[in-house]
Structure 1
Amino acid sequence: MTQLDAVLQAIVVKRKTPSTRRSKHLCADAGYRGRPALEIIESHGYIPHVVGRGKEADAKRRDPTKKARRWVVEVCHSWFNRFRKLLVRYEKLERSFLALNHIAAAIIAFRKVTLKVNIIYG
């Protein structure tokens, strides 16, 4: 919560101006439910969507086709934490650590691709 303002100021998305003005939405977890956090989110022009785990679980039970919107980052961290060398960070040089992150991202993306044949056994 302490770095929320700095993060929202650092976000720069270059895109052409849309023909109609659309609202910007920000999905956050229950840690940003407090008044100061909501004021920071609204001051940057976002519509806050702060939902606790219990409410989202109830909504998913009522409608199983509805997907959770805020767990994308948590799942991504979980995928990267499966690579022990990244989790513990044995690398001293930043460029080596960055290269390992790129390799891990490529492996994660490759595992998500469905293939018709088994590439290991042919």
Structure 2
Amino acid sequence: MATIQEFSISDTLWARLEPLLPVHVPKPHPLGRHRRRIADRQVLNAIFFVLRTGCQWKAVDATGLCKGSTAHSRFQEWVQAGVFARLWDEALQDYDELIGLNFAWMALDGSLHKAPLGGKKNRAQPHGPRQRRRQAQPLDRSTRHAGGAGAGGGEPARHEIDGEHLA
């Protein structure tokens, strides 16, 4: 099992990330009190922990990095400020300098039309609250009648063993 320290941001990475973060201007509290703001680096460690592991925001509480609600609200604040978009741009620039990006082999397809083998137009669609899972309604409902398929009032199936009926 990985420890929390394996997910922490290195000093080199933090030096690159810190200028991308917006400067926080504290709002004065009406009663003159407030909790101290948790350090951005600590919250960013929690955000990256969630992004790397895929855990829920509330699971961050158990890590001791910060509260999950704090990490989530700061994540939303930084998404609105465009921090992660700028981080993506800088990462692409770094990758281009180190390895190089070649867009010549990429293509963009913007066509919007029905797939050629997309299926029939009037296929059976699930409808109705009484319908069980994986049980589609028949296409033509006019063929249903009281004693027909799906009525459930028919005679139970008979089981036979060597020509003898078992009830």
Fold conserved (TM > 0.5)? no
Structure number with bigger Rg = 2
The structure, 1 or 2, with the larger RCO (C-alpha pairs under 8 Å, 6+ apart) is 1
Higher helix share: 1
Higher strand share: 1
Compute the TM-score of the two structures, normalised by the length of structure 1.
0.25
